[in-house]
Amino acid sequence: MTLFLTFASLFAAAIPMLFFLFVIWKWDLYDRKPIWLMGGAFLWGALGAVLLAIVGQVILDPIVNSYFPEQSLALTVTFGAPITEEPAKALILILLIRSRKFGNICDGFVFGAAAGLGFGMTENAKYFMESAWATGEYAGGVAQWMQLVVTRTLFSAVMHAAATSMVGAAAGIGKFHSRIVRALFVGVGMGLAMAMHALWNGILVTDIRPGKDFLRLNEIFGMGGDIEPFLYSAFFFLIELAIVLLMFGLCMIWENRKLKQSLEYEAEKGSIPKEHVAYLASYFRRRELGWLEPQIPKDEYIRLATHLAQRGRQARSLEGQRKKWYGLDYRRLQHEIADVLQTAPEKGK
C-alpha cells in the first residue's frame, strides 16, 4: 500500500497543477502566451524556486531558533516561509519582464500563477509522499492521505499561485514605467503576496482560541488534529482568492478597453480596416464567421492585429532607447499585416 500511495502522490501532485496551468493559460483571452514561456515559469517554480527557498530557510531557521527558541516553529512557518518562498518564486518574473511577450497586467498574472503552481506541485509531492510513508501501513491511512491531497490541492497550492500572481500583476503595471516606479510596484506586490502567505500559514499553526497552544501542521492536514484552524484559514483564503480573481477580471476588462482604443487608432491610420475593429476587440466575435475574407489566415491576422495594437500603445508611452525598439517592432508588424491583407487573397486563386 505504501508503494502504491507513493506513486499516486506524484500523480496527485502533478496532474491538478497542470490542469490549473492550462486553465490559467486559457484565461488570457486576447493574447495567450507561448506554451514554452508558461512552461518555463512553471518549471522555475517547481525546481529553481524550491531550491532557492530551501537555501533561504537553511540560512534563516537557525537565526530564528537562536532568538526565539520557544516560538521558532510558528515564526518559521508563519513568516519564514513567505520571506523565503515568495521572492524565490517571483525571481522568474524579474527575468520575464524584459521579454517582449510580457506586455501588461494580465501577462503578469498568468506568469506569476504559473510559477506558483509549479512551486505548489513540488511542495505537494513532498507532503503527499510523507503522508504515504506515514499512513500507508495501517487502516484508515488511505483516507487520511486523500484528505491531505484534497486540502493541499484546493488550498495550499492555489494559495501559492494567487500570491505570486499578485507580484506578476504588479510587475505588469510597472513594465512601461521607470525602474524606480517598477521597483515600487513590484515591492507592493511582493508585500501583498507575503501577507497572503503569512495569513494562510499563521492561522494554520496557531489556535486562536483563548488558552490554546500552537498546533502542528501534520495535526491539521488529516493526521488526527483539530480542524478548526484549517477552517479559519480556508475562510480567509477564499476571501483573498475572490479578491485576486476579481482583480484579474477587472484587468481583463481594462485590457479589452485599451485594445479596442488601440485598434480604433490603427484603423484611423489605415493599418487595419475599420470594420474589423469590433470583431478584433471581442474574444467571442473573433470566432464568428464571415467578417474576414476566407483566404486570409484568421488566427495569424488576429495575432498580428492584437500585437500591432499593443506595440503601438507601448511605443507611444515610452521614451529613449526603449521607444526606439518598440517603434521598430511596431513598424515590422505594420508591414506583416499589410502583407497578410494584400497577398493572402491572391494565394487562394
The answer, yes or no, to whether residue 97 has pLDDT greater than 80, is yes
CA distance 134 to 85: 26
How many Cβ atoms from other residues are within 10 Å of residue 7's Cβ?
11
| CB 128, CB 152: distance < 8 Å | yes
Q: Are 108 and 255 in contact (CB under 8 A)?
A: no
At 217, is the pLDDT very low, low, confident or very high (cuts 50, 70, 90)?
Answer: very low
DSSP 206: B
pLDDT of residue 348: 42
Q: 73 pLDDT exceeds 50?
A: yes
Amino acid at 164: T
Question: What is the rounded distance in angstroms from the CA atom of residue 153 to the CA atom of residue 105?
Answer: 26
- Comparing 126-130, 151-155, 202-206, 289-293, which segment has the lowest mean pLDDT? 202-206
Model pTM score: 0.84
Using the predicted structure, report yes or no on whether residue 227 has a pLDDT greater than 60.
Answer: no
Query: Average pLDDT over the chain, rounded to whole?
Result: 85
The pLDDT score that the predictor gives to residue 271 is: 92
Q: What is the mean pLDDT of residues 213-225?
A: 43
The rounded distance, in Å, linking the Cα atoms of 299 and 308 is 14
Running DSSP on this structure, what letter comes out for residue 34?
A: P
Q: Contact 200/190 with Cβ under 8 angstroms?
A: no
Instruction: Tell me the backbone φ, ψ of residue 98, rounded to 5 degrees.
Output: -85, -5
Specify the higher pLDDT residue, 184 or 30.
184
Task: Tell me the per-residue pLDDT of 158-179, one tens digit each, with 9 for 90 and over.
Answer: 899 999 999 999 998 888 888 8
- pLDDT for the residue 266: 94
What Rg, from alpha-carbon coordinates, does the chain have? 24
17 pLDDT above the threshold of 70: yes
Helix axes 179-205, 157-174, angle to 10 degrees: 160
If you average pLDDT over residues 244-260, what whole number do you get?
86
Contact 302, 286 (CB under 8 A): yes
Which three-class secondary structure state does DSSP give residue 214?
A: strand
Q: What is the spatial distance between Cα 161 and Cα 166, in angstroms, rounded to a whole number?
A: 9
CB 160 within 8 A of CB 49: no
- DSSP assigned state of 339: H
Say how far apart CA 272 and CA 255 lie, in whole Å. Answer: 19
> pLDDT tens, 40-52?
999 999 999 999 9
141-151 vs 105-135: helix crossing angle, rounded to 10: 170
For the stretch 143-162, pLDDT in tens is: 888 888 888 888 888 899 99
Instruction: Render pLDDT for 311-338 as a digit per residue (tens, 0 to 9).
Output: 998 888 888 888 888 899 999 999 999 9
Under 8 Å CB-to-CB from 288, ≥6 apart: which residues? 279
In this predicted structure, which of 17-31, 67-81, 327-341 has the lowest mean pLDDT? 67-81
What does the domain layout of the chain look like in residue ranges?
A: 2-254, 270-347
- In this prediction, residue 343 has a pLDDT band, given cuts at 50, 70 and 90, of low
pLDDT over 70 for what percent of the chain? Answer: 88
pLDDT in tens, 256-298: 898 999 999 999 999 999 999 999 999 889 988 889 988 889 9
pLDDT of the residue at 1: 67
- Alpha-carbon distance 345 to 329, whole Å? 25
